[in-house]
Amino acid sequence: MALDENDYLKNQLKKDIVEAKEKEAYYLQVLHELNTEERYAHFLKPFPRERVEEFKKDYARQRVYWHFNKNSHSAFRDRLDNRYFEYCQIALKRIQDRKLFNAISLWASKQLDVAGIEVSYDWGYWTRNPINCPHISPISKEDIEVYIQFLQQADFDFSVTDNHYSVDLFSFEDTEQEFGALRWEGELADDSFFGPWFRFYDHYYNTRFYKDLPGTRMNEEQRYIWIYRDWKNAQAPKSVTQEAKPKIFYHSEKEKLFELFEDKETKELYRSYKEMHEGFWFADSIEMDAIYLTEAKELIPIEYHDDWREGVKIACEKYHREMTIYLIWGVYQEYKNKLAANDSFEDWGVKPSYYFKIREEAVFEMIEGRKLVGEPANLDFLK
């Protein structure tokens, strides 16, 4: 699939320039109001003059942010109000994620040819848009029934109905350690990477073998890519090698610094600071769970747990799953209606994804790598 990256980037740049000018004009407008309107002058009069000027600028910047993000804020509220419908939509995407994973693994091991998929990078678009992928079967009634069983049986790991939870089916990141781009190869082979749905699917359909198929096509692509890159690096001017210095990791090094050099009082202050912020984070999490539970129209029993906070989390997760199961058939009907009408899924958060993992550059490097070892300048090795 060829996508014109240059045209896309040019159009995006034009939009960015226009938006930047609009933001600047709005910022100056707000600043003018703050400097000239009596109501603002009266409000700010008691404060130090030098601080007021900075405050005005900061306030104007905040107004710009609010003004130019009002649509996304409104959309966020709508999503929050309709989160259980969104959970159902994501459930349907996860169903297709797994089918897409199966197709990719068969293609990678040369057991399947797919029209429109020439190199591994062509899968990138569909891994971000699985609901529209033409290379897998549409969602069926059985698919929904199996996913419902999954929601009823899976352990409570708090990721099943989390609308931020997703998995990158397929890694297009090159590694210098070894050839191969499939996520399930090498150190990422354990099932935990893909989450509980993939494990349940494998158990239900006996499909664990998909994760064990070799990534032959990707391995071959990467071999030629690295032949070319090694050659290219060898042509580059040699720079003076400097002594390698260890990286500084702010969090861990800061911890060491405090423990090694600070006095007792400073250490206590730092620990208090950490506990306060960790407490705020956890309180926010529990508060949101409590808000979700208070919206329920029926009594929701809190699960017994040695830690009552874990009991609240489990009860909230259980309620999320029950609501997803209750609504999923209606969302599935909406999915079928959209397919029948050849409608877009943009209102499901699925938008055209311009997956520019430098496909053309990768193909160029594969062909140049082949030429360097005296092989034909084509992609026939992928057939």
pLDDT tens digits for 268-304? 666 666 655 555 455 455 555 565 566 665 666 666 6
The DSSP-derived string for 105-172 is HHHHTTS---TT--SGGGGHHHHT-GGG-TTSPPP-HHHHHHHHHHHHHS---S-SS-TT----SS--
Report phi then psi at 247, rounded to 5. -75, 145
Based on C-alpha coordinates, what's the Rg of the chain?
Answer: 27
Q: Supply the pTM of this predicted model.
A: 0.63
Residues 6+ apart with CB under 8 A from 108: 120, 182, 213, 214, 215, 216, 217, 218
pLDDT score, position 123: 85
pLDDT score, position 33: 85
28 vs 224: CA distance, rounded Å:
54
pLDDT score, position 285: 56
On whether the CB atoms of residues 282 and 305 are closer than 8 A, the answer is: no
On whether the CB atoms of residues 84 and 132 are closer than 8 A, the answer is: no
Residues 6+ apart with CB under 8 A from 355: 3, 121, 124, 125, 127, 128
324 vs 298: CA distance, rounded Å:
15
pLDDT score, position 100: 92
Nearest alpha carbon to residue 167 among 142, 144, 184: 184
pLDDT score, position 269: 65
Nearest alpha carbon to residue 373 among 160, 202, 211, 228: 228
On whether the CB atoms of residues 194 and 151 are closer than 8 A, the answer is: no
3-state SS, residue 303? coil
290 vs 186: CA distance, rounded Å:
41
On whether the CB atoms of residues 187 and 79 are closer than 8 A, the answer is: no
Spell out, as residue ranges, where the chain has pLDDT lower than 70: 1-10, 12, 66, 69-81, 154, 156-193, 239-263, 265-305, 308, 351-358
On whether the CB atoms of residues 315 and 293 are closer than 8 A, the answer is: yes
Q: What is the pLDDT of residues 170-218, one digit of tens each?
A: 554 444 444 444 444 433 445 556 778 888 899 999 998 888 888 888 8
